[in-house]
C-alpha cells in the first residue's frame, strides 16, 4: 500500500507529482491512500515513489516529463484532464485525489476516455468540477465586506464559508473588482488579503475574528430594501440563486422575510398607482433668494458649484448637491456629504438620514423650513458594489477641497448658528478634527464666525444596533437640537 500525504487541501502540484510516479510504477488505484497534512493519523508517513524512476509526458502543462524518461514508459495526458484535475482538487470530498488518480490510471489504457461523458469516472469528476464553479460563483455574489477603521487606513473585511476550497480560485475576481480597496476575506479554511498589489493567502480563522457590524451596514440595508422590486419577486428562483445557507452572513438577509411578506401588498399598490411622469435628470430649480448686494447669490454659487472639479468626487457622482433653504436663515445645518438618494435627487438630506433628521427636528421644535441645510462635501462618495453604491467617508483632502463652498454659503447667508452634524461636518466647520462627544451639546463661541453647535450625524443613530442605545442616543440628539429651537425663538423675538 502507498500512503501519499499532500501538503494542503489544494496541493495540485503534490498530487500531480505523486500520481505521475505512481502511474509510471504501475501502482493500481486500490493500492494508494491519499491524505492531507494535518488531517491524517501521524502513523502514515507517505513514502511515495522514488522520483524520476519512470515518467509520462502530457499534451499540456503541468505534468512535465521527468529528467530521463524512457519513451516506452510515457503516455500523453490530455489537456482536458489536467484542467479538470486542477478544478476537482478544490472539491471538499476527501476521495477527490483517489477519483482523479483512478481516471488517470484508466487514461493510460484509453486516451479517448475524456470524450466519453457518460463514463462514470468522467461524469463524477465533471459533476465535482461543476460544483466548484457554482461555489465560486456563489462566493463572488455573496461576499459582503464590512469596513474596519477609518479612511485612509480602513480595510474591508468579509467572512465567508465556502463549500469547497475555492478561496484562491475566487480571490482574483475581488482583486479586479475592488482593486483600490484594502480587503481581507476570512474563511475557516484560508484567508485571502489584498493590499492593492498582490493577493496573500494565510491560514483560516474562526468566525469571531470577522467584524459583524460597521457604519456601512445601515446604508447597505437601505439600498437593498430600496432596490427590492416586489413586482419581480419569484421566491423560488430567488432561493435557488441565494440558498438559505448563505443568508446567515448576508446583512440584507434579515430583510428578506419582511420584504417578501410585504411584496403582495406593494405589488397591488404599484398596479393601482398612476403612472409617474419620467423625471428630468438635469437642473433642479431651487427656491433661492438672491444674496445681498456685493456678495455671491446662492443661485450663482449653486451654478458654480455644479461645475466644481477641485477633487475627483464629481466624476462618478450624478451631480453636485448644494445646500438648500432660505437666504436669511439664522441657522445652518451641516452634514457630511449627500448619500445615494440625495445624489439622485440633487437635494440634501432627503434619504433615510434626512428622515431621521426631520423627525428629530420636529420633536425638538425646529422648523426645518427655517434652516439652511447643506453638507461639508457636495458630491456623493461611494464604491460600486454591483447595482449598489456604498457610501464612503470623504477624506481630509476632499473635505478641504470642498470647504470653499461651505465658506461661501456661510458668507452669503451669514447665519448666527451653525450646527455641525458628525465628524466630517465638525472638521469642516471648525477647521480641525474635532471629537464629537467631548464637544457636543453646548454652543461654541468663536471670534471669527457664528456660534457652533456640534452633535452627532443622524446616520449614526440609524446604525446603532441595539434598541436601547438607539433610543438613548436619539434623545440626546433631540436635546442638542432643542438648543437650536431656543436659538430660533430668541432670533425671532429679537
Using CB under 6 A as the criterion, which residues of the chain lie in contact with ligand URA when the complex forms?
335-339, 342, 348-349, 351, 353-354, 375, 459
3-state secondary structure of 18: helix
400 membership: H or E segment, kind and range = helix 396-413
Please report where in the chains the cell 481581507 appears, as a residue: 184
Mind giving me the DSSP string for 216-248? THHHHHHHHHHH--GGG--HHHHHHHS-GGGGG
Beta bridge partners, 391, equal 382
Provide the minimum distance between the beta carbon of 386 and ligand URA in the complex, in angstroms, as a whole number: 21
Provide the strand spans (E) within 54-163. 146-148, 155-159
- In the chain, the N- to C-terminal Cα span, in Å, equals 98
Nearer to ligand URA, 185 or 311 (CB): 311
Radius of gyration of the chain (CA): 31
56 CA to centre of own chain: 47
User: Nearest Cα to 36, choosing from 99, 87, 102, 92?
Assistant: 92
C-alpha cell at 178: 475592488
Nearer to ligand URA, 10 or 337 (CB): 337
Nearer to ligand URA, 102 or 375 (CB): 375
Residues 336 and 460: beta-carbon distance below 8 Å: no
CA distance 16 to 238: 40
Nearer to ligand URA, 32 or 366 (CB): 366
Nearer to ligand URA, 156 or 460 (CB): 460
Q: Which residue is nearest to ligand URA (CB)?
A: 335
Provide the minimum distance between the beta carbon of 376 and ligand URA in the complex, in angstroms, as a whole number: 8
Provide the minimum distance between the beta carbon of 455 and ligand URA in the complex, in angstroms, as a whole number: 12
CA distance 358 to 364: 10
Provide the minimum distance between the beta carbon of 352 and ligand URA in the complex, in angstroms, as a whole number: 8
Sign of the Cα pseudo-torsion (55, 61, 62, 68, in order): positive
10 Å CB burial of residue 486 (0-12, 13-18, 19+) is middle
Provide the minimum distance between the beta carbon of 134 and ligand URA in the complex, in angstroms, as a whole number: 39
Provide the minimum distance between the beta carbon of 199 and ligand URA in the complex, in angstroms, as a whole number: 34
Provide the minimum distance between the beta carbon of 377 and ligand URA in the complex, in angstroms, as a whole number: 8
User: Nearest Cα to 415, choosing from 372, 444, 384?
Assistant: 372
Provide the minimum distance between the beta carbon of 349 and ligand URA in the complex, in angstroms, as a whole number: 4
Nearer to ligand URA, 352 or 415 (CB): 352
User: Nearest Cα to 55, choosing from 34, 76, 33, 83?
Assistant: 76
Nearer to ligand URA, 61 or 369 (CB): 369
3-state secondary structure of 388: strand
Specify the long-range contacts of residues 467-476, CB closer than 8 Å, at least 24 apart. 474/360, 476/440, 476/441
Provide the minimum distance between the beta carbon of 218 and ligand URA in the complex, in angstroms, as a whole number: 11
Residues 165 and 36: beta-carbon distance below 8 Å: no
Nearer to ligand URA, 330 or 337 (CB): 337
CA distance 365 to 489: 10
Contacts of 295 (CB under 8 A, 6+ apart): 411, 412
Provide the minimum distance between the beta carbon of 351 and ligand URA in the complex, in angstroms, as a whole number: 6
CA distance 281 to 324: 18
Backbone angles phi, psi at 155, to 5 degrees: -130, 145
Provide the minimum distance between the beta carbon of 237 and ligand URA in the complex, in angstroms, as a whole number: 34
CA distance 357 to 350: 9
Nearer to ligand URA, 135 or 343 (CB): 343
Provide the minimum distance between the beta carbon of 435 and ligand URA in the complex, in angstroms, as a whole number: 18
Nearer to ligand URA, 87 or 428 (CB): 428
Nearer to ligand URA, 185 or 413 (CB): 413
Nearer to ligand URA, 162 or 354 (CB): 354
Amino acid at each position: 500500500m502507498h500512503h501519499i500525504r499532500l501538503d494542503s487541501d489544494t496541493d495540485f502540484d503534490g498530487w500531480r507529482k505523486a500520481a505521475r510516479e505512481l502511474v509510471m510504477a504501475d501502482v493500481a488505484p486500490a493500492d494508494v491512500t491519499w491524505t492531507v497534512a494535518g488531517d491524517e493519523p501521524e502513523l502514515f508517513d507517505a513514502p511515495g515513489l522514488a522520483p524520476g524512476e519512470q515518467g509520462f509526458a502530457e499534451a499540456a502543462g503541468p505534468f512535465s516529463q521527468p529528467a530521463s524518461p524512457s519513451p516506452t514508459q510515457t503516455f500523453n495526458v490530455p489537456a482536458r484532464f489536467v484542467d479538470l484535475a486542477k478544478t476537482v482538487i478544490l472539491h471538499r470530498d476527501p476521495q477527490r485525489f483517489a477519483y482523479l488518480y483512478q481516471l488517470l490510471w484508466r487514461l493510460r489504457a484509453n486516451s479517448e476516455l475524456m470524450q466519453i461523458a457518460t463514463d462514470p469516472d468522467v461524469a463524477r469528476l465533471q459533476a465535482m468540477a461543476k460544483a466548484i464553479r457554482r461555489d465560486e460563483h456563489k462566493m463572488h455574489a455573496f461576499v459582503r465586506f464590512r469596513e474596519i477603521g477609518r479612511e485612509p487606513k480602513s480595510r474591508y473585511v468579509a467572512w465567508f464559508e465556502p463549500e469547497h476550497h475555492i478561496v484562491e480560485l475566487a480571490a482574483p475576481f475581488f482583486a479586479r473588482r475592488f482593486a483600490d480597496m484594502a480587503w481581507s476575506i476570512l474563511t475557516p479554511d484560508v484567508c485571502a488579503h489584498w493590499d492593492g498589489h498582490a493577493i496573500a493567502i494565510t491560514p483560516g480563522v474562526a468566525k469571531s475574528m470577522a467584524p459583524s457590524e460597521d457604519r456601512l451596514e445601515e446604508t447597505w440595508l437601505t439600498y437593498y430594501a430600496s432596490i427590492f422590486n416586489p413586482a419581480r419577486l419569484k421566491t423560488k428562483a430567488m432561493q435557488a440563486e441565494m440558498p438559505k445557507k448563505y443568508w446567515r452572513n448576508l446583512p440584507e438577509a434579515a430583510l428578506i422575510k419582511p420584504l417578501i411578506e410585504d411584496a403582495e401588498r406593494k405589488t397591488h399598490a404599484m398596479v393601482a398607482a398612476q403612472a409617474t411622469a419620467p423625471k428630468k435628470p438635469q437642473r433642479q430649480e431651487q427656491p433661492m433668494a438672491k444674496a445681498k448686494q456685493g456678495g455671491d447669490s446662492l443661485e450663482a454659487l449653486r451654478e458654480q458649484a455644479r461645475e466644481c472639479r477641485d477633487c475627483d468626487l464629481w466624476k462618478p457622482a450624478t451631480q453636485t448637491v448644494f445646500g438648500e433653504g432660505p437666504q436669511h436663515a439664522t441657522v445652518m445645518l451641516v452634514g457630511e456629504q449627500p448619500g445615494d438618494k440625495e445624489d439622485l435627487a440633487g437635494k440634501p438630506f432627503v434619504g433615510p438620514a434626512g428622515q431621521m433628521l426631520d423627525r428629530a427636528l420636529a420633536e425638538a421644535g425646529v422648523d426645518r423650513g427655517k434652516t439652511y441645510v447643506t453638507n461639508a462635501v457636495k458630491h456623493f462618495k461611494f464604491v460600486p458594489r454591483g447595482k449598489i453604491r456604498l457610501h464612503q467617508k470623504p477624506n481630509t483632502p476632499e473635505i478641504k477641497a470642498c470647504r470653499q463652498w461651505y465658506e461661501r454659503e456661510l458668507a452669503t447667508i451669514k447665519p448666527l448658528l451653525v450646527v455641525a452634524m458628525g465628524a466630517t461636518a465638525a472638521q469642516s466647520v471648525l477647521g480641525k478634527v474635532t471629537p464629537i462627544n467631548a464637544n457636543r451639546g453646548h454652543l461654541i463661541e468663536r471670534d471669527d464666525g457664528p456660534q457652533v453647535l456640534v452633535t452627532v450625524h443622524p446616520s449614526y443613530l440609524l446604525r446603532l444596533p441595539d434598541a436601547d442605545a438607539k433610543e438613548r442616543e436619539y434623545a440626546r440628539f433631540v436635546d442638542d437640537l432643542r438648543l437650536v429651537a431656543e436659538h430660533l425663538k430668541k432670533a425671532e423675538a429679537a
